[in-house]
A and B are shown apart, each in its own frame.
Chain A
Amino acid sequence: MNRLSRMLTAAAALLLVALYFLPIWKVELQAPQYPEGLGMYIAVSDIRGYGEFDLQKINNLNHYIGMRPIEAASIPELRYMPWILAALIVTGLAVAAIGRRRLLYVWLGVLVLAAIVGLADFYRWGYTYGHDLDDTAIIKVPGMAYQPPLIGSKQLLNFRATSWPASGGLLAAVAFLFAAGAAYAGRTRGPRARVAVAATALAVGACTTATVHPIAYDGTETCEYCRMVITDRRFGAEVMTVSGRAHKFDSIECLASYVAALDDQQRVRSLWVTDYAAPGTLIPAESARFLRVSDGPGSPMGLGLRAFSVAQPGEQGEVLDWADVLVLVANETGSPRRLERTSLLVGVLR
């Protein structure tokens, strides 16, 4: 390894030390009754509230929905994560000292693996807390689960839950970039190295580009199907392709029409529609629940279609799933291909 590589490796390892002092992740809860804010930090060895009594307040509120108390003591990972982190830092510094390229690639791989496992584990905890509810819970909403999003924002009853990396987590991301940079810097111009770099870049790129792009709603974006300016936050839709491109639409109908008209369905990586109950929030189309209403604000393309992540109290209208929507749009708008449910299930849906 050249000097730059070694310095970047050492810097990456040292940056990770920040995780002992700064939280990795944060979950924030917003509701009208809490103008002063409410939230919690997940640190490498502890879970604590934003304010001194925030965690206590959150647990108090959660007793209504039967969620078990969030306590550092009941999460074993918080006891051994500090050791794993120490191992990562020490091995990183050792790699920088030893200077063998192969070791660097291994270390980088372990870092990425640790991050993936960490996020997966966080997801699992979120799932458990959100679904494993006391059956004597005071407030029971049928079908409702309280899993916070892994990353991003979600409406849970009267709270908007936002999950995002905290300052330590962002510094850890910078450490990854340093480590990746170390692997890239002073690389030999051999084909094997290039493949390795390209593979890493692709892996990183694939991870990042899989995330749906936010829609601006400020008049700068137009629907790719009907060319109208996208302004209504309740109806935006999007398709992400395998190459990482985002195509945006002003309505569910336009997305459906676009998808139906695609020659190569394999190019579609993911489909997104807006949760009507949480304007501005995109949810996967294939798992969304659609409502076709005859009154109230109409959808931009006139078929009265709205998407929801969960059933809404007092909702009225015809309930559809994504396959139904594709059929409906194709038949109502006279698309070039006449679609049937069976062909969709095979070809379009994943």
Chain B
Amino acid sequence: MNRRHRFILGIGGAVLAGTLAFACSRPGAGNLTAGDAASRVYVAPGSHDEYYAFLSGGFNGQMLVYGLPSGRLLKMISVFSQNPENGWGYNEETKPMLETSHGFVPWDDTHHPALSQTDGIPDGRWLFINGNNTPRIARIDLTTYETTEILEIPNAAGGHASPFTTPSSKYVVSATRFSVPIPNADVPIESYKQNFRGTLSFVTADKPGEMDIAFQIMMPGYNYDLGRAGKAVSDGWFFFSTYNSEQAYTKLEVNASQNDKDFVAAVNYVRAEECIAAGEAEAVPANYRHNVVDPHSRVAVSHQRTSVRVLDPEDCEGVVYLMPTPKSPHGVDVDPTGEYIVAGGKLATVIPVHSFSRMLKAIEDRQFDGDIDDIPILKYEATIAGEVQNPGLGPLHTEFDANGNAYTSMFISSEIVKWKLGSWEVLDRIPVYYSVGHLMIPGGDSRKPWGQYLVAMNKITKDRYLPTGPELAHAAQLIDISGNKMTMLLDFPTLGEPHYAQAIPASLIKENSLRFHRLSDNTHPEAVRTLQGGGIRREGKRVHIRMAAIRSHFAPDNIEGAQVGDTVLFHVTNVEQDWDILHGFAVMGANNSELILGPGETRTIKWVPRTPGVFPFYCTDFCSALHQEMQGYIRVSPAGSNVTLKANLSERSASQVERARNVANAGSLTTGGR
């Protein structure tokens, strides 16, 4: 080979080697070996997880309960979406929960769980969650893990910035996502700037069954994205992120991204309370529903409300200020000390951090840059504490640990960035897969974070798991933040689309979990408390059947006298008083869901038979060795026939009857346990 050939070969070889070296190198991961991570997240059979994690179901409208660190799904709590699996929104007792001023709405979009707090720390009493489409806030009881109350928010459209609790859960606070005419009216859409306004709603939440809108504050016609309560030094204030200060109403993608800065609205709600006490608020007519489950009968009732208190900032000086914030901010988060207000400017190249104390000083010194609708705009330089430079692309949300560190999710660069409060320097970053939305640290939004773990909830899944067609489960990752460097521990798929989450140490609430409903407390009007308590009666075209369910039969289980076109109501009571002994109930061909009955509860399913015949019903939740024998028949006769109404009760064998007689003859002492 001559010299020229050798030269070319040499260059080619070098290029090849360089390419290979470049392609084959992996960025330093700083991760645990697979074995270390596995032992960190392994929860042995029979053991329990350390944390309850409550993740919103997103577009499935429910609340998901996971265990950390295993990532195991423990429960899906029905909130705003009908659930044929257990009868939520199908049985007569829970249908009222989904009533709204627009009628019965069988679905919604849940985004942000909020644990109730005492003194700024999650206390495990309740969990609140928003309905984004038809603005509502739901309360979930953390003894039964069920939705017990839903309040609709009037004068709002899209309840995204919702719900966020104040440090004592005196209020949970909500803001409209979309601005609309208030009250809503038939106006041209292009009259947006003249007619469309936004509202912030302060809902009293510390008394179960009595959620109410304390007041609403009228705001400019922007979009309101997220909120956070001040805590510690900023207790008494509330902060909302806004975007679309351009007041665009079409192609917001472009038109709402024009202004260099939008706003964080700072609300002094203590000042609002003063103004309201002084009579400055107006009672405005509004239609909205308050739906509550009675704790004893477990029957929900929907109440209509017709008026709401609205406060206009021009009538209450000092109630709200606007802090300019780059650029279309999404998340707004307050650090554990209450001093720093971090805004996630999703289109910005920095993370701006406002200082609460500087904000107060700016207000005192009247460092204003004009106003909008009488709301002063503070000078950016006067309130800003610092900016985290070059954190990544697309900062969204920030949570905090107990060591003065902040963690921000970067949607576009698909990573979590750790940085220091006060010095604003980036300490660490870890890639997540892919395109993370919210992140959650247990207690990360409270006055005293528990830290330890970080859950990243992502929007794009692609190749993370075995593929299952075009529609893939959203991916969540569990990251260890207990050391200096963040390390990836676990990757687990989630139901629906978890937006945000809350976590609490299991030890704080585990013992509160109810094992069964006490039959002696059951005040449902059609409850059956003994096996002989069932029966049938007719009220015009409505036939009521009261039935007991026990291992392993229904009492009664042979029913006659129903007619085609009747409204047949099966009121079934699970009379067990034992842990995790459930019964189900379903009738052949019913245009309705099944019932799933917890021990001690009564539920009603409606059936309108369409054809004559004998229809079986059976227990759908495997309850006992004789579950297959737990069945019955109902006879449906043609309309107008004279078949007698009949329902057999629990027929006992001859020897059982004799024994019962002996007991009765022997005289009765107190029989314990009944």
Query: What residues make up the interface of A, taking CB atoms closer than 8 Å to B?
Result: 36, 45-49, 52-57, 60, 64, 68-69, 71-74, 76, 78-79, 134-136, 138-139
Contact = CB atoms under 8 A, between A and B. Distances in A.
Nearest to A138: B626
A73 B667 contact: yes
B672 interface: yes
Interface in B212-253: none
B157 interface: no
B551 A46 contact: no
Nearest to A76: B666
Contact of B663 (A56, A74, A134): A74
Interface in B68-123: none
B578 interface: yes
Given A45-B669, A71-B671, A136-B653, 11 more contacts: A52-B673, A54-B673, A55-B672, A56-B577, A57-B577, A57-B578, A60-B551, A71-B663, A72-B669, A72-B672, A73-B667
Given A57-B577, A136-B653, A73 B663 contact: yes
B642 interface: no
Interface stretch (B144-152, B467-475, B654-662): B654-662
A47 B673 CA distance: 10
B674 interface: yes
B658 to A, nearest CB: 10
Given A56-B673, A72-B669, A139-B625, A134 B578 contact: no
Contacts of A78: 669
B654 to A, nearest CB: 9
B559 interface: no
Contacts of B663: 71, 73-74
Nearest to A57: B578
Interface string B634-674: 00000000000000000001011001001100111111111
B550 A72 contact: no
B666 A53 contact: no
Contacts of A56: 577, 673-674
Contacts of B659: 68-69, 74
B673 A48 contact: yes
B465 interface: no
Nearest to B664: A73
B579 interface: yes
Given A53-B578, A53-B673, A56-B673, A74 B653 contact: no
13 contacts: A36-B579, A55-B673, A56-B673, A56-B674, A60-B550, A72-B671, A73-B668, A76-B666, A134-B655, A134-B656, A135-B655, A136-B653, A136-B655
Contacts of B551: 60
A71 B666 CA distance: 11
Ranked 4 nearest A-B pairs via Cβ:
A48-B672, A55-B673, A53-B577, A136-B653
Nearest to B668: A73
Contacts of B671: 71-73
Interface residues of B, number: 23
A55 B671 CA distance: 9
Nearest to B599: A53
Contacts of B656: 68, 134
Interface in B520-561: 550-551
A172 B579 CA distance: 35
A52 to B, nearest CB: 6
Nearest to B551: A60
Contacts of A49: 672-673
Nearest to A43: B672
Contacts of B669: 45-46, 72-73, 78-79
Contacts of B576: 60
Contact of A74 (B550, B666, B672): B666
B577 A46 contact: no
Contacts of A46: 669-670, 672
Contact of A47 (B579, B655, B672): B672
Nearest to A136: B653
A60 B668 contact: no
B578 A64 contact: no
Nearest to B662: A74
A55 B673 CA distance: 6
Contacts of B672: 46-49, 55, 72
B61 to A, nearest CB: 34
A313 to B, nearest CB: 15
A6 to B, nearest CB: 37
B670 A72 contact: yes
Contacts of A76: 666
B510 to A, nearest CB: 14
Nearest to A137: B653
A64 B623 CA distance: 13
Nearest to A41: B672
Contacts of A45: 669
Contacts of B653: 134, 136
Contacts of B670: 46, 72
A49 B656 CA distance: 22
Contacts of A64: 625-626
Contacts of B674: 56
B2 to A, nearest CB: 81
B400 to A, nearest CB: 39
A25 to B, nearest CB: 15
Contacts of B655: 134-136
Nearest to A139: B625
Contact of B578 (A60, A73, A79): A60
Contacts of A36: 579
Contacts of B666: 73-74, 76
Nearest to A58: B673
A71 B550 CA distance: 19
Q: Which of B579, B663, B673 has the most CB of A within 10 A?
A: B673
A198 B555 CA distance: 63
A49 B577 CA distance: 13
Interface string B555-580: 00000000000000000000011110
B371 to A, nearest CB: 63
Contacts of A136: 653, 655
A1 to B, nearest CB: 39
A265 B670 CA distance: 53
Nearest to B624: A64
A54 B672 CA distance: 10
Contacts of A52: 577, 673
Contacts of A69: 659
A54 B576 CA distance: 11
A73 B668 CA distance: 5
A72 B670 CA distance: 8
A68 B671 CA distance: 15
A138 B656 CA distance: 13
Contacts of B550: 60
Nearest to B673: A55
Contacts of A54: 673
A76 to B, nearest CB: 7
B597 to A, nearest CB: 16
A54 B674 CA distance: 10
Nearest to B654: A136
A139 B673 CA distance: 25
Interface string B499-534: 000000000000000000000000000000000000
Nearest to A134: B655
Contacts of B577: 52-53, 56-57
A58 B578 CA distance: 10
B323 to A, nearest CB: 54
A57 B674 CA distance: 10
A91 B578 CA distance: 45
Contacts of B626: 64, 138
A72 B666 CA distance: 10
Interface in B578-592: 578-579
Interface in B444-501: none
Contacts of B662: 74
A72 B671 CA distance: 6
A136 B663 CA distance: 20
Contacts of B673: 48-49, 52-56
